[in-house]
Structure 1
């Protein structure tokens, strides 16, 4: 009996992962196309090809699904990944100079924002009428701020930062420019290519923050 369970467990886990990925992708598409009101659990289930009960079982209620979409946009996978475990964060920590760290992060945040900005627009609109959506975005914004303080401290350790800016100021500058709002202004409204956006972030942060 135990051998049968051990044999089938990886298969069930893989199937559950595929189901979750399908639900998250369907919810993402509906949020972008229809906005928060149109992305009902029933429509998400229909688009993902699953039952409504499957969504409740595997992820939760609509607010949980929206959170999963946002976390997926940040991590690039169906699951949330804590910042210290992300590949680009580990490469930043391992990099030897502040310039290298900035370049790695500018490239990473460009990839993240290309996924997150469309979802953010839907979440921003939802936050005006839906308290859980507002709390979700506020929580993610505060988490970004904490992560940027860690990034500032890592940059400071190189000895290359300006002495007239403390870590809080450094973190605030980076936090304001790695936001979906900044991406929307330059890429979506002004038509910048993502690579131009990445180069702009790296150049601006080098000029503003390093000696």
Structure 2
């Protein structure tokens, strides 16, 4: 389940999921075994003149520690240089780049990287404003399926959590799932896209 978001996004809109190599050295570049070290997903060009787009995907802005930024940035910069590609560092759950733990380290090591969170990240990954909704629905189905197979009662375990989110959605005046998406991915694109975020600071 920990890599479900990468697997699903890798199947969307012509995206290609980059499998993680197993073994002693998982970060060494090798054309046959590990042609994209550090990447989770690539987007081949769809028309003449477009560049390959390479994505490192995290589930949320705090998934990578601040100290991981340099290592991740070095990997992305290598791929950008080697393949003449555009590089992206995506966090799916997050409203803003403010407080992003590894953003600065990634940008320092890979100056051309585009750091994205929330809706801005989903849009780049899926080319749609509904990418987050599709992934959320898939997670919902996966959890329900697993619960049926194991006999685990999600209703009993999550009753309090559901009531909390229902109350939250009433306060926000939105539907249950919409309020979850808005809370976890909504926000200003100027706060979610490093291209705009950094330009505003200048």
- TM-score normalised by length of structure 1: 0.29
Pick the structure with greater CA Rg.
Answer: 1
